[in-house]
Amino acid sequence: MLRLLTAIIALASVCAVRAEEMVPLKLDLPKPLFVGTPRPIKVSNLEPAQVGTPPPFMVPAGTVLLSLNKPATSSDSSPVIGELTCVTDGDKSGIEGSYVELGPGVQWVQVDLGAPARLAAIAVWHFHAEARVYHAVVVQLSNDPDFKAAVTTVFNNDDTNADGLGKGSDYAYVETYRGRVIDAKGVTARYVRLYSDGNTSDELNHYTEVEVYGRPVN
């Protein structure tokens, strides 16, 4: 009886989600910082070429930016350049002073939303002043600040398991001013953690901005 009740509730939830009105996610994009567009690369597990403006990322109506000025922590407590406040301060310009630079190798930043929320999208700008690719990008969600329990991985392009979180099959991508919008798949979580392992220009890890979109859970 209990199983049947649970199944009915789950089915109802799915139907409710499907019935939600979906609207385009509106991102406030910074200005491009390097002239010229990299020529498209049509290969299988790399980012497909985008010609013109990409299609909008659809999110449920009522989705709001949850992360603005929320506290950010990191595996590197003493960033090389900048402050961890850069991660959520709303400044995506990419110029000096708008990003935090973490040390070499695998590093993460974590945003605390203050309360669990149903998350729709995570937008991340690592560094967009030149064409570069960040290695082993993994994005995880959890209600556990230590990410030891109930962790959901929503993005993983770490094809060599450099981060030690398991191999992923998502696309590697070239950083641009458009950032990268990641589907959070409606997961309910309070904490968002983003990993990387250096980039194609240097061994350091940068975050210009992380934006977490969703709806608060009452």
Partner 1 sequence: MPQTSSHWLPLALVAVAAMLWRGEGLGARPMHADEANQAVKAGELLESGRYAYDPRDHHGPVLYYAVLPVAWIRGERTLAGLDEVTVRLVPAIAGAACVILLGLLAAPLGRWPSLAAAAFMASSPPALYYSRYFIQETLLVAFTLAAFLCARRWWERGGAAWAAAAGACLGLMLATKESAPVFAACALLALAAAGPLPARPAHARGGLAALACLGAALAVAALFYSSFGSHPAGLRDALGSWRPAAARVLSGDTGHEKPWWYYLRLFAWQRSGGLTFEQAGFGALALAGAGIALSGGPGLLRWAAAYSGLVLLVLSATPYKTPWLAVNLVPGFALLAAGALAALARDRFGAAVAGAAALAVVAMLALQADRAARVYASDPRNPYAYVHSAPDVLKFRPLAEWALARTPGGPVRVISEEYWPLPWYLRGLGNVGYWNSPPEACDGAMVVASADLAGAVRARLHGPYDQAYLGLRPGFVLVVFTPRR
Residues that bind partner 1 (CB under 8 A): 34, 38-46, 81-82, 96-97, 101, 130-133, 135, 159, 172, 174, 198-204
- Minimum Å gap between C-beta 97 and partner 1 is 7
Other CB atoms within a 10 A radius of the CB of residue 13 amount to 11
Question: In angstroms, what is the C-alpha Rg of the chain?
Answer: 18
Compare residues 74 and 142 and give the one whose CB is closer to partner 1: 74
Taking the C-alpha atoms of residue 61 and residue 27, their distance in angstroms, rounded to an integer, is 15
Taking the C-alpha atoms of residue 116 and residue 118, their distance in angstroms, rounded to an integer, is 7
- Minimum Å gap between C-beta 87 and partner 1 is 15
- Minimum Å gap between C-beta 205 and partner 1 is 13
Backbone angle region of 69, left / alpha / beta, with phi > 0 → left and psi within -120 to 50 → alpha: left
For 150, the enclosing helix (H) or strand (E) is none
Compare residues 146 and 203 and give the one whose CB is closer to partner 1: 203
**Residue 207 and residue 196 in contact, taking contact as beta carbons nearer than 8 Å:** no
Compare residues 18 and 39 and give the one whose CB is closer to partner 1: 39
Which residues, including other chains, have CB under 8 Å from residue 80's CB and lie 6 or more apart? 101, 102, 103, 204
Compare residues 131 and 151 and give the one whose CB is closer to partner 1: 131
Compare residues 151 and 174 and give the one whose CB is closer to partner 1: 174
Single-letter amino acid, residue 172: A
